[in-house]
Amino acid sequence: MKNKIRFKIDEKSLFLGTYNDYAKGQTATVSTPLNQSKDENKWRKDILELKKYNCNVINPPAMLIHKCQSSSHSGNSIDNVFIFSNFLLDGIKLNTKFQFAMYFKRETDHVITKLNGSKVNNTHLGRIKLHYPITFSFKADGYNIDNKAVLNSIMEQNGGFAFVVRGFEYYQDTKTLNFITSLIGPNGIPLSTVFRRKKGVGKKLIIDPNKVVDNDYVVVVGQNPDIQESTTITYELINKSRLENGRLGEEFIYKLLREKLDDDNELYHTSLDFPQSPYDMEYIVDGEKKYVEVKSTSETKPIFNMSSGEIKFMEKYKDSYVLYMVTEVKEKFPKFYVYTYYDIVKMKKEYPSVRFYAQRKK
């Protein structure tokens, strides 16, 4: 048996740091279907293999099983419970004193009762899901499980950014669970700017990659120290540049990195799914996450602006951060420059405007 298992989960199911601004609220799915299809070849066998590993609890306490079962309205069987005590956050040790729990839940009711009292056959009979409720906790029989506390530890360690968990790695030899995350914006970002509701029963959340949202941040303009003349940049020009040139620049750099990296590096275009993310792309090198920011202009001078959120992120991840500046982005052969955090902090900066929040006079 191999020593490591890696699996992805639904990106709309495990996240923290969003403000639920939907009028009637919204509950996260907190589970990933494993055998939803009738075609067994489409089953999530990567996750089903968890039961072969040493994270599977042997003879779990009855109260723990009851706690797992009680989170569902339909009849169900808890086939396996997995408890984790050692963690990594994107390859870096995560400091927390709490445990994290997941479990397989299989639907067992042949008939279910609808809200109007009518009874129908359960079309999902036998369906298995991997559950990881955000609010799940169990502190008895020697366990110190608190999923929310572990997620809070992730946010504290990542610098206070909202995030989604995209998947996990479990290392058999060290009994360690690695959280694979992406940052989706500042803490408190409105949920509706990250996910939108899918029409139909349950109003499930889905990623909305077509959203364009404006950052409510002070703008800082960086300038290459080799350029002596001053530059005037307005909010209007910044927004225009973002809309017209941003997509082209990101596509150019993504293709560049795709040719440079292999599949093991797992290049992911983060901002394509999460426009409020404080970076644009991410990939893995030797088990650690690397972050890429892309700035673009149709002009020849490498001048770019950064939001306060982007600067905060860059300072937090200074040794894992790189910025690609693409110039002449609309030309057949754009030029690009690569800057590290240490390059950027030496650049000349301008502060063309500051946003003030005034209170109405009575």
- Specify the higher pLDDT residue, 14 or 22: 14
- Per-residue pLDDT at 193: 84
Distance from C-alpha of 229 to C-alpha of 223, rounded to nearest angstrom: 10
Distance from C-alpha of 218 to C-alpha of 195, rounded to nearest angstrom: 25
* Region 333-337 average pLDDT: 94
- Specify the higher pLDDT residue, 355 or 71: 355
Highest mean pLDDT range out of 60-74, 106-120, 308-322, 338-352? 308-322
Encode pLDDT of 54-96 as tens digits. Answer: 898 988 999 999 988 876 556 778 889 999 999 999 999 999 9
Asked whether the predicted pLDDT for residue 216 surpasses 90, the reply is no
- Specify the higher pLDDT residue, 273 or 75: 273
* Region 144-165 average pLDDT: 96
pLDDT band at 213 (very low <50, low <70, confident <90, very high): very low
Give the largest CA-CA distance in the chain. Answer: 76
- Per-residue pLDDT at 245: 84
Asked whether the predicted pLDDT for residue 109 surpasses 80, the reply is no
Asked whether the predicted pLDDT for residue 211 surpasses 70, the reply is no
Asked whether the predicted pLDDT for residue 221 surpasses 50, the reply is no
- The boundaries of every CATH 3.40.1350 domain in the chain are 219-350
- Per-residue pLDDT at 184: 92
- Per-residue pLDDT at 215: 41
Residues 351 and 221: beta-carbon distance below 8 Å: yes
| Percentage of residues in the chain having pLDDT higher than 70 | 80
User: What is the overall mean pLDDT for the chain?
Assistant: 83
pLDDT band at 108 (very low <50, low <70, confident <90, very high): confident
The alpha-helical segments, DSSP class H, found in 90-234 are: 147-157
- Per-residue pLDDT at 233: 38
Asked whether the predicted pLDDT for residue 115 surpasses 50, the reply is yes
CATH number of the 219-350 domain: 3.40.1350
Distance from C-alpha of 139 to C-alpha of 143, rounded to nearest angstrom: 5
Asked whether the predicted pLDDT for residue 224 surpasses 50, the reply is no
Asked whether the predicted pLDDT for residue 194 surpasses 50, the reply is yes
- Per-residue pLDDT at 209: 52
Nearest-CA neighbor of 355 among 214, 229, 232? 214
- Per-residue pLDDT at 238: 46
- Specify the higher pLDDT residue, 238 or 359: 359
Encode pLDDT of 294-312 as tens digits. Answer: 999 888 989 888 888 899 9
Nearest-CA neighbor of 211 among 292, 261, 276? 276
Nearest-CA neighbor of 151 among 70, 84, 209? 84
| Percentage of residues in the chain having pLDDT higher than 90 | 47
Q: Rounded to whole angstroms, what are the CA distances from 14 to 53, 102, 179?
A: 22, 12, 11
